[in-house]
Amino acid sequence: MKRHYFVQQMNNPQQQQPRGALDGGVYAITPVDQSSKGFDATDGPPDYGIVNIYQKSSRDLKGLGGGKSIYLDSGDDKSDSDSNVTAGGDGDSDIISEYIGHYGLWQFCWTFLLCLFQIPTTFHIFCLVFQAASRDFWCARPAHLRSVPVDLWRNLTQPTGAQCSQLNVPYEQLTADGFAGYFASMNVSEPLEQVSCGAYEFDATIFGQTVIAEFGLVCDRAKMMSIVEMCFLAGAAMGSVGSGWISDQFGRRHTLMFFALIQAITGFLLGFATSLELYMALRVIIGFASMSVAVVSFVLVVELVSGRYRTVVGILNILPVAISYVLAAGIAYFTRDWRLMQFIITIPGAMLLSIWYWLPESPRWLLAKGRIDELKLIIDRAAKTNGFRLPEGYEKTLSSPDQDSAEEVVSIFDLFRMKFLRTTLVMLVVWFGIVLIYFGITLHLSNLGGDIYLNTVLAGSVESIAICLSIVVVLKLGLRVNLFLYMVVAGISCIVMNFVPDGNLWVIITLAMIGKFYGLF
């Protein structure tokens, strides 16, 4: 079924042309009722957003554009709409959705499976909350004094409460039985010399064995923990930028599964790391791979559907992120060992590699690359699953652009051209704020106080509710004003949290959850 549109070229607002040959560029489009014989341009079309329109030759199509079929870019932008971002409804079609539908059983199965890639990715992002949690520690007891109670040891050797130093006494000459007597006979009228601890013991009551305990990241080495966190985030930053270009060149499917493979291999190797340097290097790699998996799986999910379903599945794609927080808390609670936890959280990602053979490539990427034979196979399979009957010779409408009308090559630098510069800069600031709030709260839940496991369950529950509500907000209430209000509320909550007196634990946690709730929108 053909759909017709009123097309207005944006660089010439006075030129309103429902028919005629169109150059590739930016246009405003308005769906035209198919029962109508024409379109009265004098009434002025409603704003249906800005989309990119590309010409594709087709001698068999005689619709809009004087023998040219019009392809609507999958990245149509309705972000400027204050009321309803899906004003076009399911009429926002391209040639792919004409043959397989906007959303059916085929899309449901694959979007569901692709959402599962967020689980191991979230595990690897969030695991340091438990694997590197802050724990109480003290100077280690020599092997022959291990029978001395910890409280007695700390009271006598670290009387000032300092965790990084102890009294300078001949511990090698002491016995467990005479330990307390030796300190009782000491002359305490003179200040005793303090020396740095040679090794440390850690409280294993809550977290068990952690990365901090394994590599001794306390006292003068405590700053190394920040570098460990930076290693992952540096890899994630590179992955978020590089994965887009890689998937454009080599396809969504193979890019996603390649980085999922790297993620699984690196995840298992991390569990065997015996040095801090190796651990940090592997965290850079898994950060790159994990963010690449998150980005490319999201792109593939969105490109498998069309119409308003892009909004729905795009948001629901991150619902497993919130669920993964709760699962990670359960895994950490029952394992109490960072290596064992590392192995367990890597298993789901390794299992997802089994779908590599059956995972379809993005049909819209194949169309853009002119790989029609592969595209036809996917359309045939999807249409059959969704119950669509394909017309004879439909593949002729899937021909790639002619050499003389090929679309202009677009790069990331186009975002910084004058006409896009303001929007690009605003969105950079917005996303900086969102990421700062989101990761700032998520990765430091252990610093809020209280039970870290309970805090994590609360954070996951709050995020799940926020994700589900955001679908209604985006579909019904628009974006710009609501985004502004949500960020204001999140920012105020985080600022007020700093002025809450110590001891008001639940007030602090409540404000943190409000900031996380509204920051996620």
pLDDT in tens, 59-87: 333 333 333 333 444 333 333 344 344 43
In this structure, what token pair is assigned to residue 464?
Answer: 């799940």
Read off the pLDDT of residues 332-368 as tens digits, 9 standing for 90 and up: 999 989 999 999 999 999 999 999 999 999 999 999 8
- Token pair 């570098």: residue: 227
Q: Could you count the other beta carbons within 10 Å of the beta carbon of residue 435?
A: 12
In this structure, what token pair is assigned to residue 129?
Answer: 């909350």
Query: Closest Cα partner for 264 from 299, 292, 302, 233?
Result: 292
CA dihedral 353→357→362→363, nearest 10 degrees, is: -170
Can you list the positions of beta strands (E) in 115-203? 137-139, 165-167, 194-196, 200-202
Domain borders along the chain are 1-103+375-407, 104-135+214-369, 137-202, 416-521
* 176 — pLDDT class (breaks 50, 70, 90): confident
CB 18 within 8 A of CB 6: yes
CATH 1.10.3720.10 fits 104-135+214-369, yes or no: no
pTM of the model: 0.75
pLDDT at 6: 56
CA count, 13 A, side-chain hemisphere, 84: 9
Give the Å distances, CA to CA, from 454 to 180, 501, 506: 40, 21, 12
- Cα–Cα distance between 152 and 203 in angstroms, integer? 15
- Token pair 């996603």: residue: 256
CB 306 within 8 A of CB 74: yes
DSSP state letters, 415-473: GGSHHHHHHHHHHHHHHHHHHHHHHHHHTTGGGS-S-HHHHHHHHHHHHHHHHHHHHHI
* 57 — pLDDT class (breaks 50, 70, 90): very low
CB 117 within 8 A of CB 252: no
In this structure, what token pair is assigned to residue 471?
Answer: 């679908």
CB 303 within 8 A of CB 360: no
> Kindly report the CA angle at 71 between 31 and 108, in degrees rounded to 5?
85
Q: Name, in order, each residue with C-beta under 8 angstroms of 113's C-beta and a sequence gap of 6 or more.
A: 352, 355, 359
Read off the pLDDT of residues 367-425 as tens digits, 9 standing for 90 and up: 988 898 999 999 999 999 999 888 888 888 886 544 344 455 666 667 677 777 888 78
- Cα–Cα distance between 237 and 242 in angstroms, integer? 9
pLDDT at 247: 93
First to last CA, the chain: 37
CB 197 within 8 A of CB 139: yes
pLDDT at 393: 82
Average pLDDT over residues 173-199: 79
CB 519 within 8 A of CB 465: no
Report helix, strand or coil for 490.
helix
Q: What letter does residue 395 receive in the DSSP assignment?
A: G
pLDDT at 27: 55
- What mean pLDDT, rounded, does the chain reach? 78
Residue 480 has pLDDT above 50, yes or no: yes
In this structure, what token pair is assigned to residue 49?
Answer: 């957003």
Query: Closest Cα partner for 121 from 239, 207, 223?
Result: 239
pLDDT at 192: 74
